[in-house]
Structures are given as C-alpha cells and as structure tokens.
Amino acid sequence: MRALGVDLPGLSPKKIERRPYPPGQHGQARKKLSEYALRLQEKQKIRLNYGLSERKFRALMIEAKRTSGPTGTNLLSLIERRLDNVVFRAGFARTIPEARQIVNHGHILVDGHRVDIASYRVGLAQVISVREKSMEHPSIVNSVATPEPFQTAWLEVDKAKKTAKVTTLPDETSVLFPVKVQLVVEYYSKRL
C-alpha cells in the first residue's frame, strides 16, 4: 500500500497515514513516474486490492472489452460483483482475503444455495446470506460487530439476519479508493 501511495481497504484494514511515502531507503526522494509506470500502478492498485492474479485480471479485462458500454466501467462492475468482494462489502469479513476464505469454506449461501467459489459473479436481486450453521463463526461475528468505515449503496444489508441483497449493479463510483480506470484500459490496449 505504501509503494502504491493509497489505502487499499480490501487488502488490509491498516492505513498508510503514519508513513505516507514509499518503503525503502530512497522512499522519501520522490521521482517522476513514466507514462508506463502510471498505467502499471493503476492496474496494480485494482489487482492487489481485489486479490486477483494477472491471468484472472486479464480474463476480466477481455470480458469487459467484449461487453457493450465503456470498458473501464464494465471492468469495475465485473470485479465488484465477485462473491468474495460482495461478502466483504456486506461486512461479513474485514478484508477480501478473509472473505475469500469464508466463501471457500462454504459459509455463504446465494439465494439459499451454498456457493464455495470466490469468483462467482453475483447478479441483480440475488440474496447473499451466511449459512445457519455458520452464524456464530468467530470471524463473521467479529466483522459484523465492527462498524463499517464505508457505505455500499448497491447492497441492502441486514446485519441482524446476516443477509445482503444486490439492489443495483455497481459502477465506477462503487470503488472504495481513487482509481483512474482509463489508465488501466490504456495499459491493456496494446496487450490484448
């Protein structure tokens, strides 16, 4: 997070405000970044925050490019609708890696059916809930008890019942950190 110069809430609940400069001996001696470095940095912000491999991210980029509409908006919508991210945004986990583990261990239901694939894409009006047997799981209980530092407008969350419903599809304003998605599109324009 310090290397990219931005807080990534999906990666860690920690903040970089104490040392807002890049790590290393020469971290405070800022240098001007090249055009390529700026595009790479924007891509890495998204990739690292959501915990995506380069292969998965590239596949999502290809799918976003094929879908009608702006490629950048499509990309962010596809990433935000991943089940691990929805579990994180609903407040059932403190980070996306924790949410991925909760999903992989089978603690989450989508429309009443158990789903253990973190990359499952949630659709409009689907209901995400915690399994009855997992209601008292320590990490879920701790996450629900922790107040959320952000609001998710496209989800309707009921903390008491531990359910969330997708009311609208997310767009580029749904991302929790500043990102210039056009630079990501430009980064991949020569590589796809």
Domain with 27 in it:
1-81+176-192
When pLDDT is cut at 50, 70 and 90, the band that residue 11 belongs to is confident
Residue 69 and residue 27 in one domain? yes
Residue 127 and residue 180 in one domain? no
Residue 77 and residue 91 in one domain? no
In this prediction, residues 88-104 reach a mean pLDDT of 95
Residue 184 and residue 117 in one domain? no
Residue 19 and residue 60 in one domain? yes
Question: What is the full DSSP assignment across the chain?
Answer: -TTTTS--TTT-S--STTS-S-SSTTSSS--PPPHHHHHHHHHHHHHHHHT--HHHHHHHHHHHHHSSS-HHHHHHHHHHTBHHHHHHHHTSSSSHHHHHHHHHTT-EEETTEE---TTPBP-TT-EEEE-GGGTT-HHHHHHHHSPPSS--TTEEEETTTTEEEE-S---GGG-SS---HHHHHHHHHTT-
Residue 109 and residue 40 in one domain? no
Q: 157: which strand partners?
A: 164
Average pLDDT over all residues of the chain? 92
pTM exceeds 0.85: yes
When pLDDT is cut at 50, 70 and 90, the band that residue 31 belongs to is confident
Residue 35 and residue 68 in one domain? yes
Residue 27 and residue 63 in one domain? yes
How far is it, in rounded angstroms, from Cα 113 to Cα 2?
40
- The number of folded domains in the chain is 2
pLDDT in tens, 166-175: 999 998 889 9
Q: Which residues contact 31 (CB under 8 A, 6 or more apart)?
A: none
Residue 54 and residue 115 in one domain? no
Largest CA distance in the chain: 54
How far is it, in rounded angstroms, from Cα 51 to Cα 140?
20
Q: What is the pLDDT of residue 148?
A: 78
Residue 186 and residue 109 in one domain? no
pLDDT at 5 over 90: no
- 12 compared with 61, residue with greater pLDDT: 61
Q: Of the candidates 47, 102, 100, which has an alpha carbon nearest to the alpha carbon of residue 76?
A: 47
pLDDT at 2 over 90: no
Least confident of 48-52, 147-151, 188-192: 147-151
Q: 1: which strand partners?
A: none
pLDDT at 26 over 80: no
Indicate which CATH number applies to the domain containing 124: 3.10.290.10
When pLDDT is cut at 50, 70 and 90, the band that residue 137 belongs to is very high
